[in-house]
Structure 1
Amino acid sequence: MDEIGNLLHGFSVALTLPNLGFMLVGITLGVLIGVLPGLGGANGIAILLPLTLSMNPTTAIIMLSCIYWGALFGGAITSILFNIPGEPWSVATTFDGYPMAQQGRAAQALTAAFTSSFVGALFAVVLITFLAPLLAKFAIRFGPAEFFAVQLLTFCSFVGMSKEPPAKVIAAMMLGFALAAVGMDSVTGQLRMTYGYPPLLKGFDFLIAVIGLFGIGEILLTMEEGLAFKGKHAKIDPKVVWSTWKTLPRHWLTFLRSTAIGCWMGITPGGATPASFMSYGIARRMSKEPDSFGKGQIEGVLAPETAAHAAGTSALLPMLTLGIPGSPTAAVLLGGLLIWGLQPGPMLFVEQKDFVWGLIASMYLGNIVGLFVVLTTVPFWAAMLRIPFSVIAPVIVVICAIGAYTVHSSMFDVVLMLVFGVLGYLFKKLRYPLAPLVLALVLGDMAEASFRQSMLISQGSLSIFWSNGLVGGIVGLALVMLCWPLLGTVKSWLQRPPPAAPAEGNAS
């Protein structure tokens, strides 16, 4: 098969000495980012992305994606040992992981978490290997109207599938569209919303925004909460690893179910966090001993970790083939591709085969390296967590400032980063989602360009979005997703029981 030949070529790209070295660096940095609450995969990639601008794009994307794999692994360490989720998707892992640590089974819980994470990611990478080329060939048929329809579907899916209120998702998305529109109109050359201020001519740089929103915003919130680390010590013994591995095959159905949930939530804009909670809930519902969940049940660790890694990995599938990110981290990586001059989409598989297949091959290698790294370095990460957060937080802020300054060597960008940091903090406090804002900031210009090209082709007629079955079907599905919360509200209203009739004794 062509996919096998291309994958072998990808391994020849990924197995070069520089790429292997940056892969190991990325995994180590990712575990560090995952272990430290207040950071995360998207935050770490956003902070470190400016440092890769002078690197070869293939090496840069391999390093950044390995940071993501490492962050996925690292989030389980704090969840199990300290009952502090290092990542949002690790919250469900604390339900049974921390009770296992309290019972003296921390090594077993960590081994189960790391192994299930590896299994979920492996299945997702296999899915990308064989499905991405087919999806890319199909997407070659796309024109401006089809691309806008897909982008509309992405925006509407965030509204329909988000756990946040639709009004908040739409408000965050509208703000992202407004920020994306600042600067010079690429079609007419007119200035938009610059208010006579020259630094705004280039608009708001995507990197500056995400460093502030994710990095600074999370740090401010974590500092306000007064985070303190108190947890269990852990050392993973090879005997414990082997004995745990021997018990895992009996949970094959949990692995299979959680992988399916994770891959689906990754390809659609669900994300790793909803996938982990959904997988945990279904595992508990399907278990023969549901009451044991929350008391140290190993399935309560396997299910969320498998689903989170499967979702986090499979989110790259729509990003590579259609240019549509399936998660905030994928959105940050998409911004990196655009900065390096690479246009995600079907032609990427034709024009940049070394890049695409080198990245896919690095997913296999990165997860193997990540599993080895976390199994051998848990005591180091656990000891580092005992450093006061008052020391760690300023270091992270300085790293963010350096990352923002290196984009354009401008202090104005550092100020903008702080402004976006305050905005990210307010979003978190008011429980507004950041992912829709980032998505709109990344895709706003692309969606606008696709829409305006469609209008030029059709001479201003919206009928172009129903001109064939493909674009009409995508737009129709987008409208269904947009109205999905409303349909749920109507359904619950129709199923509401009628009000009870007043008792006769109370009648006047």
Structure 2
Amino acid sequence: MEELGYLMHGFSVALTGQHILMMFIGVTLGILIGVLPGLGGPNGVAILLPLTFSMEPTAGIILLSCLYWGALFGGAITSILFNIPGEPWSVATTFDGYPMAQKGKAGEALTAAFSGSFIGAFFSVVLITFLAPLVASFALKFGPPEFFAVYLLTFCSFVGMGGGSPFKTILVMMLGFGLATIGMDTITGGLRMTFGFDELLRGVDFLIVVIGLFGIGEILLTMEEGLAFRGKQAGINLKVVLQTWRQLPRYWASLVRSWVVGAWMGVTPGGATAASFMGYGIARRFSKEKDMFGKGSLEGVIAPETAAHASGTTALLPMLALGIPGSATAAVLLGGLMVWGLQPGPMLFVEQKDFVWGLIASMYLGNIVGLIVVLSTVPFFAAILRVPFTIVAPVIILLCAIGAYTVHGAMFDVWLMVVFGVVGYILKKLDYPLAPLVLAMVLGDKAEDAFRQTMLLSHGSMEIFWSNYLVGTITTVALITLMWPVISGLFSKRVKVAEVPA
């Protein structure tokens, strides 16, 4: 198959000394970021992205993607040993991981979590390998109406299927759209919402926003909560690993179900957190050992980790093939590609084959490297958690400030980062999602340009969005997705009424 030939070429690109070094550095930093509560994949990628601007794009994206894989692995360490979720999607892992650690089975729990994570991510990369080129080649037929319909579908999916409050999602999206309009109008050349600040002529850089929202906002929240790390000791040796691996085939059905759930939630913007809870719930429902769940079930550790990592990985599929991120981390990576002068989407597979296939190959290698590193360094990363947070927090804030200053070399950006840090803290306290804000900011100007170009083509007629089967289907699905909470609510009420005895 043609994809296999391209993949082999991708391995030749990824398997160079510099790129292998980037993999190990990225995975190690990612595990550290995943271990420390208050950071996480989107935060780590946002903070370190400015430091990769001087790198060659392939090396930079390999470093950041491997950092993402490492963060996915690292979140399980705090969940199992300390009962503190290192990542939001690691919450479900604490349900059975920490009870296993209390029983002296921390090594087995960690091995099961890392193995489930590897399996979920590996098969998701296989899906990306064969599906992304097909989606990209199909998307080459798109014009402005089709692209706007796809953007609309993405925004509507976050509202209708995001799992949170649709009102809150729409509100933060509006904020993201507003930020995306600041600066010069790409069609008329006029200035918009600069409010007399010369620094805003170039717009608000998405990096400044995400560093503030995720980095500073999380630190403020963590400082308020006053986290103290007290947990169980853990060591993983070859005997424990092999014993745990011998048990995994018993749970093959749970692994398959969790992967399917995670892959679906990654392509649609359900998110890794929702996928982990759904994977855990389905595993418990179909398990032959239901009574063990919540008391230290190996299956209860494998299922959420597999689903979460499948979701986190497949979120990169629409980002590469269509230029539409499926998660907050994918949105940050999308912005990074655009900073490097690369346009994610169908043309990426035509114009930048070395880059895109080198990245896909590095996903395979990065997961293998991540599994090896995390299995061999658990005691070291667990010990880091005993460093007082009063030392860790200033270091993270300093890294955020350096990252923000590096973008344009201006102190204005650092102060802007602080402002968005406070905004991020307030939004999180009020339980507003941040991923839709980042998505709207990254794609807002592109959606606006596509819509205005479409209106110019149709002389202002909205009928163009149903002018052919392709754009009409996408637009209709988008509107159904937007209204899905209402549709599902009405359906549930009708079912309940039907079930009431006469």
1:246-270 superposed Cα distances (whole Å, 9 cap, x missing partner): 1111111011111111111111111
Aligned residue number for residue 312 of structure 1: 312
TM-score (norm: length of structure 1): 0.97
Aligned residue number for residue 432 of structure 1: 432
Aligned residue number for residue 504 of structure 1: none
Following TM superposition, by how much is the alpha carbon of 1:488 offset from its aligned partner in structure 2, in angstroms?
A: 2.4
1:443-495 superposed Cα distances (whole Å, 9 cap, x missing partner): 00000011111111111111111010000000000000100111123234445
1:42-68 superposed Cα distances (whole Å, 9 cap, x missing partner): 000000000001111111001000000
Contact residue 236 and residue 376 of structure 2 kept, 8 A? yes
Contact residue 163 and residue 270 of structure 2 kept, 8 A? no
TM-score (norm: length of structure 2): 0.98
Q: Distance in 2 between matches of 1:123 and 1:63?
A: 21
**Counterpart check, 1:218 vs 2:218:** yes
Q: Distance in 2 between matches of 1:288 and 1:8?
A: 42
* TM superposition outliers: structure 1 runs of 4+ over 6 Å: none
Aligned residue number for residue 23 of structure 2: 23
Secondary structure at the aligned position of 2:269 is classed as coil
Q: Distance in 2 between matches of 1:490 and 1:126?
A: 38
Percent of aligned pairs with the same amino acid:
72
1:83-116 superposed Cα distances (whole Å, 9 cap, x missing partner): 0000011000000000000000000000000111
Q: Distance in 2 between matches of 1:494 and 1:361?
A: 49
Aligned residue number for residue 462 of structure 1: 462
Q: Distance in 1 between matches of 2:162 and 2:29?
A: 30
Aligned residue number for residue 487 of structure 1: 487
Q: Distance in 1 between matches of 2:179 and 2:474?
A: 26
Secondary structure at the aligned position of 2:37 is classed as coil
- The aligned amino acid for 1:489 is G
Secondary structure at the aligned position of 2:483 is classed as helix
**Counterpart check, 1:176 vs 2:176:** yes
Aligned residue number for residue 149 of structure 1: 149
Q: What 5-or-longer segments of structure 2 have no aligned partner? A: none
Aligned residue number for residue 506 of structure 1: none
Query: How is 1:24-39 mapped onto 2 (pairs within 5 angstroms)?
Result: 24-39=24-39
Contact residue 140 and residue 347 of structure 2 kept, 8 A? yes
Q: Distance in 2 between matches of 1:125 and 1:260?
A: 13
Aligned residue number for residue 121 of structure 2: 121
Following TM superposition, by how much is the alpha carbon of 1:271 offset from its aligned partner in structure 2, in angstroms?
A: 1.4
Aligned residue number for residue 2 of structure 1: 2
**Counterpart check, 1:271 vs 2:274:** no
Aligned residue number for residue 393 of structure 2: 393
Query: How is 1:40-119 mapped onto 2 (pairs within 5 angstroms)?
Result: 40-119=40-119
- The aligned amino acid for 2:225 is E
Q: What 5-or-longer segments of structure 1 have no aligned partner? A: 501-508
1:331-386 superposed Cα distances (whole Å, 9 cap, x missing partner): 00000011111111111001000000000000000000000000000000111101
Aligned-residue CA RMSD (Å): 1.1
Give aligned pairs, total. Answer: 499
Q: Distance in 2 between matches of 1:74 and 1:137?
A: 35
Aligned residue number for residue 384 of structure 2: 384
Q: Distance in 2 between matches of 1:350 and 1:4?
A: 16
Q: Distance in 1 between matches of 2:135 and 2:492?
A: 37
Q: Distance in 2 between matches of 1:126 and 1:493?
A: 40
Following TM superposition, by how much is the alpha carbon of 1:497 offset from its aligned partner in structure 2, in angstroms?
A: 5.6
Contact residue 7 and residue 360 of structure 2 kept, 8 A? yes
Following TM superposition, by how much is the alpha carbon of 1:199 offset from its aligned partner in structure 2, in angstroms?
A: 1.1
- The aligned amino acid for 2:377 is T
Q: Distance in 2 between matches of 1:395 and 1:212?
A: 15
- The aligned amino acid for 1:315 is A
Q: Distance in 2 between matches of 1:213 and 1:470?
A: 37
- The aligned amino acid for 2:188 is T
Aligned residue number for residue 330 of structure 2: 330
